[in-house]
Amino acid sequence: MKTTVNDADDLKNKNPDSEELKESGDQQTTQKESEHHNVQVKELEQEIATLKEKNDQLQDQFLRSRAEIANMNNHFKNERAQLLMYGGQNLAKDILPGIDNLKRALATKTDGKSSEQLKKGIEMVFNQLSEALKSNEIIEIAETGVEFDPTIHQAVSVVEATDDEKQNMVKEILQSGYKLKDRVIRPAMVVVTK
């Protein structure tokens, strides 16, 4: 049987719902694809948000770690500078009793030429040690007539102040103190007025 154009038109006219069904099916397929696409987009957006949050956390950790390393470096630099600055402190502490003994030897009275020569030799040794301390910025604390300072003085005895003396003043040095730069190695043992 031969179908003509008129027959096709007749078929269309006889079954008009077939094209509508086809269009309706296409719309349903398109709608399902659109819904599926929307679900995928939402999942991807959620994944992006999660990744951004992780990125922010890692960035924060990185910055904190970097700051901690910088703080540690600064701490080590300061510690190293302190070691260099006060490196001779232990040596000075060990030498100071010897200097005290030399001072006592110089304070004794001599009688005779050989005693005088011995005293002169002790004085030369004392002067050399004193210069060595000064050149290494170790300063003697041995000044009387100054106000008592507990950071550099150790009060061993207290005496009544006379009329011409002020209270809380260093009257006598019993043993010199020493400072290395701004750090007290040994406080001066002093007699203080009250």
Determine the pLDDT at residue 19: 55
pLDDT in tens, 10-48: 545 555 555 555 555 566 777 888 888 888 999 999 999
CATH number of 86-193: 2.30.22.10
pLDDT of 90 above 80:
no
Determine the pLDDT at residue 27: 67
Mean pLDDT comparison of 84-88, 107-111, 169-173, highest-scoring range:
169-173
Determine the pLDDT at residue 40: 92
Report the candidate in 94, 180, 98 with the shortest Cα–Cα distance to residue 134.
180
Return the domain boundaries, the chain: 18-84, 86-193
pTM more than 0.85: no
* 32 vs 42: CA distance, rounded Å: 15
